[in-house]
Amino acid sequence: MIAVAGISYYSAGFDMLAKYAGLAEEAASGNSISGAFTGIVWVSTCNRVEIYADIPVHCRKRAERLMLQQFGLTEKTEGFYIYTEDEAILHLLKVAAGLDSAVTGEDQVLGQLKLAYKNAVTANLTSPWLNRIFHKAFETGKSIRNLTDINKGHQSIASIAVALAGSFVTEYPAESSNGVLILGAGETGALVAEILVNKGFSNISIWNRSTIKARKLAVKLGLNVVTTDQLEHSYRTSSVVMVAIRNKEPLLNYGAERTAPSAKRLVVDLSMPFQVADTAENANNYVYNLSHIAAIRKETLEKRKEAIDDAMQLIWSAMSELATWKEDQWIGKTLQQWKLLMQQLKERQVRDYAEKHPEVDSATLSRFGEELSANILRQLAWSIRQQQKDGADWNKWSKLLANVEPYEQLN
């Protein structure tokens, strides 16, 4: 039985989540697995702590008790959730797709799942069934992000601001070499600077009231530091300006034209209250503020929500493939069981016949028995495959054959 038990920020809050985060890390770092489980994978992130398990039991209540014991609990408390079988697999597929995240479709969770699974594999804690499920989750999560709009667009203020800058330099390639000016080295300014660097922007300058703070960030990210004396000139020469400061009075004349005639400029005001007045916008000066960014964010969220139906179609398809694969395992189990039965039967019959007919070559008789057993197994495999194609209840028949008692126990 596949099961998942866990707790998340959304189900219980950060305080409760923090209580169990250390437990998951300790358990995941171990190199052994309890005999109660065939395989386990611990997942611990800033938003969730979960254990996925392959349990050799068929009783749901017993499985739930085993899962709760991993958290030191005897009963399910508020905020905890437990899913088994199809519900557990569905939960993992939704997590991998980003449908169970605060930001729908976010990419980070897929990497976190992969790391958790890799740690479990390294410690030899997984099972073939868990391996199959997690690989399918990774494949489905990737397909959903490639084939739907679930992760299209940006959600954070800083990422939207950088996306606007990217669109601007794409539309006006001539402005791409004129540099980016960031006003403010606080949390927002620093995050914007980091994303800009990661996105390949160059010639980035930063100004801050505290030159020391600006220099510290500049050293870290490879930026240019602009002093207050240089600020006006830097503003007039920069093609992209990010404003992330709090000033009672405007720091600059944001409507001032660029030094080059008819040169374009993008100004993104990330401040609250706004630092850049609407009047600063003109034919060559494009101004965005937090109101515009909120509208972009809302539109992105709506598009992602519309993509949920498409994502769920891919998830249901993955569920169907996993169900088919699991049913196919009964064929292997059936043939394996019957191979053992035929081996036991052959050995007994050959032994009994040789005792009654000592003149017969036992080696030849044994080879004949092996060939006969192999032919019977091939016929059985063919019959099961035909039932799989033509019979609605083929899997029930296969499971029944797989549970036949060993020959020695019947005699």
184 labeled part of a ligand binding site: yes
Whether residue 187 is annotated as binding a ligand: the answer is: yes
Q: Is the dihedral of CA 283, 285, 286, 291 positive or negative?
A: negative
189 is in an annotated binding site: yes
Tell me if 48 is assigned to a ligand binding site: yes
For residue 46, the 8-state DSSP code is: S
CA distances to 215, 359, 360 from 364, in Å:
89, 12, 8
Query: Is 111 flagged in the annotation as binding?
Result: no
188 labeled part of a ligand binding site:
yes
Residue 45, annotated as binding a ligand? yes
Known binder of ligand: residue 347? no
Q: Does 25 count as an annotated binding residue? A: no
112 in a known ligand binding site: yes
Does the annotation count 59 as an active-site position?
no
Bridge partners for 39 per DSSP: 54
Q: Is 46 annotated as a binding residue?
A: yes
| Calpha distance 275→295 (Å, rounded) | 19
State the virtual CA torsion across 225, 228, 233, 239 in degrees, nearest 10.
50
CA distance 40 to 55: 9
Gap between the Cα atoms of 405 and 358, Å rounded = 31
185 in a known ligand binding site: yes
The answer to the question of whether 107 is labelled as a binding residue is yes
The answer to whether the beta carbons of residues 314 and 136 sit under 8 Å apart is no
- Please name which of 56, 61, 98 lies closest in space to residue 82, comparing C-alpha atoms: 61
Catalytic residue among 18, 46, 219, 295: 46
Hey, how many other C-beta atoms are within 10 angstroms of the C-beta on 360? Answer: 12
Residues 6+ apart with CB under 8 A from 150: 97, 98, 99, 104, 105, 144, 304, 307, 308, 310, 311
Distance CA 98, CA 410 (A): 52
Distance CA 280, CA 252 (A): 11
* Distant-in-sequence, close-in-space partners of 169: CB < 8 Å, separation ≥ 6: 175, 176, 239, 240
Nearest residue to 37 via CA among 82, 2, 6? 2
Q: Provide the annotated binding site for substrate.
A: 45-48, 101, 106-108, 112
Residues identified as active-site: 46
Q: Provide the annotated binding site.
A: 45-48, 101, 106-108, 112, 184-189
Q: Provide the annotated binding site for NADP(+).
A: 184-189
